[in-house]
Amino acid sequence: MLDFFISNAWAADAPQAGGIMSMLPLFILFAVFWFFLIRPQMKQAKEHKTMVEALAKGDEIVTNGGMLGKIKEVGDNFILLEITKEVQVKIQKNAISATMPKGTIKTL
């Protein structure tokens, strides 16, 4: 008799988790990280590697510490950098941040 006034509340079926649909946000997040963080960093590392491999005697460079100088000698892992006529410094190749156009030192 009471069923007429109050309807029974049955439990709803458990939602079926779609395999790919539940993983979609994770794939989207990975794609965002790939295109905005990982890919540009890999591209920049590749450009730096080609720049370091192309260094030759006489190139003018800037180090990560901000020193500007001319390359006097190129080794496997180190270069000899002439900062002034009497001052030469040996630094790692990976510490080079950029190459400068020829004649930059004379204009400063």
In tens, the pLDDT along 8-19 reads 777 677 666 667
Spatial separation of the C-alpha atoms in residues 14 and 92, rounded to whole Å? 62
- Residue range 29-59, pLDDT digits in tens: 999 999 999 999 999 999 999 999 999 999 9
Query: Would you identify the CATH topology of the domain 56-107?
Result: SH3 type barrels. (2.30.30)
pLDDT number for residue 60: 96
pLDDT number for residue 3: 63
pLDDT number for residue 75: 93
Average confidence score pLDDT of the chain:
88
pLDDT number for residue 107: 87
pLDDT number for residue 20: 75
**C-alpha distances in angstroms, 26 versus 21, 40, 48, 62?**
10, 21, 32, 41
Spatial separation of the C-alpha atoms in residues 99 and 62, rounded to whole Å? 6
Q: Where are the domains of the chain?
A: 20-54, 56-107
- Residue range 64-84, pLDDT digits in tens: 999 999 999 999 999 999 999
**C-alpha distances in angstroms, 5 versus 9, 42, 85?**
13, 69, 102
